[in-house]
């Protein structure tokens, strides 16, 4: 078969034609398990950027090239897929995800976890009231995935709305960003929060224009609700069962959106292995360690990389150094625009504490990963990395900065010099543009700076930060390419990247971030056969429609894990 005219006219004119060795050296005489042909394959492999077909055997790509050549590997038992000129890219990787899945499966969801969707306050009240009716009085009724800028009513949820849910149950609605919650009168009463309550350090009880509690409570002020009311008690077995079922459930969601690898922030490691054993783990996991697991690694000499192609111990979980981008508490070197009294965000660690934490993990051969959004926090993290490398030089340590949102030229230079990998927000540029105005264009020009990173040769990767951000890679790619949000606003257009660059960030760079670029991240002979078939080509559709491209099939290790 021949290439279409449009295909040949592309910027990269079938470069694989100049690299026949990519096919020749890997073809063996045995029949393939799977052959996919008649496709527009974007390999993300610099030696041969495009192909028409590939063959898979024992879970790996064994040959990549032209349809006519690859068809020669079809035997009687070979499964074949005629892609009918659809687009194929490597499986997507999300390098920052809070992925237990139990909230999705067992809790009341008052917002859409996956897409931009406006809800009404009425719908929130109705969903919670239904839950209250099957819940004993005095026990908590809670809703999740609320987003204050995705409400049709155009006003803040308040205590009166939640009093309509119940006067007998404490009721809470949690913001998906993870830093604010909304409570009803019963909850406030049980916690002893009255009109005269003082704000504790690191949090607030918010008020309406009359000075009355409006039900919104921020950050650490929420701790007063921890031991009030009653909560459903689960046995150890029930908790374990929920952990397994939650992971199995979220794994299905990942492959539905084309993710084949996800970096998990901790979670139940035993449950993860059980889910895999029972055949319900559909994606590959880079397990980012914290707590007991991190401590056990350090004390027993287990370094990053232990595990296998399905579950591998990755970097540490994000070690938090400052506040949040979406809820406007990240640490800036200048005051937040338009905020009085002047406010520069929250630093949550001293430099000395951070230095000690980084050094200990670094010496133990563990890839360090810190959460830093603001320029002040990024500076602190780099200072700690530089110090640790000086004390204990370790080549190619690849420290990771989760979010790494706001940079400047000096930070960029140091990120490059230390070999640091930034895992920046991806879906925010589409999903959260309604929050960019709080920073303003001057700061947004330096925020989520994918263009700056690529130009400097820094292998930035994609980190959705689910639950705060949706994890759909195509939504992320659309935002990275357009820097335009659901509301039509464009911020920091100077940081746009090309479609090809955005795909690379979401695939090969993700593999690099977990030190697995030799085995995944591109469609290359010898690598794991993880790929996605897309109904349309993101290079040629209207950029504002990239997120709507249908995922036709998600394949991990040669096995179809999702099919539309």
Q: Is 476 exposed, middle or buried (0-12, 13-18, 19+ CB in 10 A)?
A: buried
Closest CA to 125 of 158, 93, 155, 150: 158
Residue closer to Zn ion (CB basis): 96 or 186: 96
Output the smallest distance, CB 58 to Zn ion, in A.
35
Residue closer to Zn ion (CB basis): 190 or 423: 423
Residue closer to Zn ion (CB basis): 158 or 180: 180
Output the smallest distance, CB 278 to Zn ion, in A.
28
Q: Rounded distance, CA 40 to CA 555, Å? A: 16
Contact residue for Zn ion among 142, 288, 465, 537 (CB under 5 A): 465
How many residues sit close enough to Zn ion to count as binding (CB under 5 A)? 1
317 three-class SS: coil
CA distances from 170 to 108, 197, 213, 215 (A): 15, 18, 15, 12
Beta bridge partners of 447: 406
Pull the structure tokens for residue 213. Answer: 């509690």
Residue closer to Zn ion (CB basis): 465 or 530: 465
Q: Identify the residue whose tokens are 């990395």.
A: 385
Residue closer to Zn ion (CB basis): 268 or 465: 465
Q: Identify the residue whose tokens are 């000075």.
A: 211
Indicate the helix (H) or strand (E) that contains 183.
Answer: strand 180-183
Output the smallest distance, CB 288 to Zn ion, in A.
10
Closest CA to 261 of 115, 405, 97: 97
Output the smallest distance, CB 201 to Zn ion, in A.
23
Residue closer to Zn ion (CB basis): 465 or 501: 465
Task: Confirm or reject binding of residue 94 to Zn ion (CB under 5 A).
Answer: no
Residue closer to Zn ion (CB basis): 147 or 530: 147
Residue closer to Zn ion (CB basis): 505 or 533: 505
Using the contact rule CB under 5 A, the part of the chain among 85-93, 149-157, 392-400, 464-472 near Zn ion is 464-472
Output the smallest distance, CB 465 to Zn ion, in A.
5
Using the contact rule CB under 5 A, the part of the chain among 103-111, 286-294, 457-465, 508-516 near Zn ion is 457-465
Using the contact rule CB under 5 A, the part of the chain among 336-344, 415-423, 443-451, 461-469 near Zn ion is 461-469
Using the contact rule CB under 5 A, the part of the chain among 45-53, 84-92, 188-196, 462-470 near Zn ion is 462-470
Output the smallest distance, CB 185 to Zn ion, in A.
32
Sheet holding 531-534, edge to edge: 50-51, 40-42, 87-90, 531-534, 551-556, 559-563
Beta bridge partners of 423: 402, 461
Closest CA to 206 of 170, 159, 163: 159
| β-strands 34-37, 531-534 pairing | unpaired
Residues numbered 255-274 forming contacts with Zn ion, rule: CB under 5 A: none
Kindly report the backbone phi and psi dihedral angles of residue 181, in degrees, each rounded to the nearest multiple of 5, phi listed first: -140, 160
Cβ atoms 399, 421 nearer than 8 A: yes
Q: Radius of gyration (Cα) for the chain, nearest Å?
A: 24
Output the smallest distance, CB 178 to Zn ion, in A.
8
Residue closer to Zn ion (CB basis): 215 or 399: 399
Output the smallest distance, CB 467 to Zn ion, in A.
9
Closest CA to 509 of 484, 476, 549, 544: 476
Residue closer to Zn ion (CB basis): 90 or 468: 468
Helix (H), strand (E), coil (C) string for 66-89: CHHHHHHHCCCCCEEEECCCCEEE
**344-367 burial code (b ≥16 CB/10 A, e <16):** bbbbbbeeeebbebbbebbebbbb
Residue closer to Zn ion (CB basis): 64 or 472: 472
Query: How many Cα atoms are found within 13 Å in the side-chain-facing hemisphere of 415?
Result: 29
Output the smallest distance, CB 236 to Zn ion, in A.
27
Q: Rounded distance, CA 205 to CA 193, Å? A: 8
Residues numbered 290-319 forming contacts with Zn ion, rule: CB under 5 A: none
Output the smallest distance, CB 265 to Zn ion, in A.
6
Output the smallest distance, CB 223 to Zn ion, in A.
20
Report the residue closest to Zn ion, judged by CB.
465
Cβ atoms 444, 488 nearer than 8 A: no
Output the smallest distance, CB 323 to Zn ion, in A.
12
Residue closer to Zn ion (CB basis): 369 or 507: 369
Using the contact rule CB under 5 A, the part of the chain among 71-79, 328-336, 463-471, 529-537 near Zn ion is 463-471
Pull the structure tokens for residue 131. Answer: 């839950």
Q: How far is CA 279 from the centre of its chain?
A: 24
Chain residues in the site for Zn ion (CB under 5 A): 465
């Amino acid at each position: 078969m021949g290439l279409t005219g449009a295909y040949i006219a592309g910027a990269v004119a079938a470069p694989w034609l100049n690299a026949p060795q990519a096919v020749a050296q890997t073809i063996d005489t045995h029949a393939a398990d799977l052959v996919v042909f008649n496709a527009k394959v974007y390999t993300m492999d610099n030696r041969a950027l495009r192909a028409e077909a590939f063959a898979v055997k024992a879970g790996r790509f064994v040959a990549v090239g032209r349809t006519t050549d690859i068809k020669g590997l079809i035997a009687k038992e070979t499964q074949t897929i005629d892609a009918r000129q659809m687009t194929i890219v490597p499986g997507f990787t999300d390098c920052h995800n809070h992925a237990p899945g139990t909230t999705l499966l067992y809790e009341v969801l008052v917002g859409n976890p996956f897409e931009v969707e406006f809800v009404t306050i009425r719908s929130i009240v109705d969903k919670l009231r239904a839950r209250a009716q099957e819940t004993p009085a005095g026990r908590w009724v809670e809703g999740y995935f609320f987003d204050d800028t995705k409400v049709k009513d155009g006003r803040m949820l308040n205590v009166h709305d939640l009093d309509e849910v119940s006067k007998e149950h404490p009721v809470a609605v949690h913001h998906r960003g993870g830093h604010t919650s909304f409570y009803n009168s019963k909850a406030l009463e049980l916690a002893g929060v009255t009109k005269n309550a003082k704000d504790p350090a690191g949090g607030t009880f918010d008020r309406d224009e009359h000075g009355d509690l409006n039900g919104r409570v921020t950050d650490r002020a929420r701790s007063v609700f921890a031991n009030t009311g009653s909560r459903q008690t689960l046995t150890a077995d029930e908790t374990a069962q929920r952990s397994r079922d939650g992971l199995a459930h979220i794994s299905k969601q990942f492959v539905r959106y084309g993710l084949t690898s996800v970096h998990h922030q901790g979670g139940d490691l035993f449950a993860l292995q059980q889910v895999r054993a029972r055949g319900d783990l559909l994606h590959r996991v880079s397990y980012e360690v914290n707590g007991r697991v991190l401590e056990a690694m350090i004390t027993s000499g287990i370094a990053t990389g232990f595990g296998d192609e399905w579950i591998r111990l990755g970097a540490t979980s994000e070690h938090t150094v400052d506040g949040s981008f979406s809820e406007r508490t990240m640490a800036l070197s200048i005051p937040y625009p338009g905020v009085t009294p002047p406010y520069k965000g929250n630093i949550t660690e001293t430099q000395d504490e951070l230095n000690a934490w980084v050094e200990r993990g670094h010496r133990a051969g563990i890839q360090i990963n810190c959460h830093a959004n603001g320029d002040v926090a990024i500076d602190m993290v780099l200072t700690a990395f530089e110090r640790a490398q000086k004390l204990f030089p370790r080549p190619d340590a690849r420290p990771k900065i989760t979010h790494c949102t706001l940079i400047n030229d000096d930070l960029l230079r140091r990120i490059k010099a230390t070999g640091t990998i930034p895992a920046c927000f991806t879906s925010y540029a589409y999903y959260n543009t309604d929050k960019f105005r709080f920073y303003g264009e001057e700061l947004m020009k330096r925020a989520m700076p994918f263009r700056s990173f690529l130009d400097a040769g820094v292998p930035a990767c994609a980190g959705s930060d689910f639950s705060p951000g949706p994890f759909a890679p195509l939504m992320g790619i659309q935002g990275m390419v357009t820097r335009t949000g659901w509301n039509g606003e464009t911020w920091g257009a100077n940081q746009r990247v090309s479609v090809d660059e955005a795909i690379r960030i979401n695939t090969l760079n993700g593999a690099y971030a977990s030190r697995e670029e030799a085995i995944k991240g591109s469609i290359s002979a010898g690598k794991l056969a993880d790929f996605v078939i897309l109904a349309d080509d993101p290079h040629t559709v209207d950029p504002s429609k990239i997120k709507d491209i249908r995922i036709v099939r998600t394949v991990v290790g040669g096995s179809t894990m999702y099919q539309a």
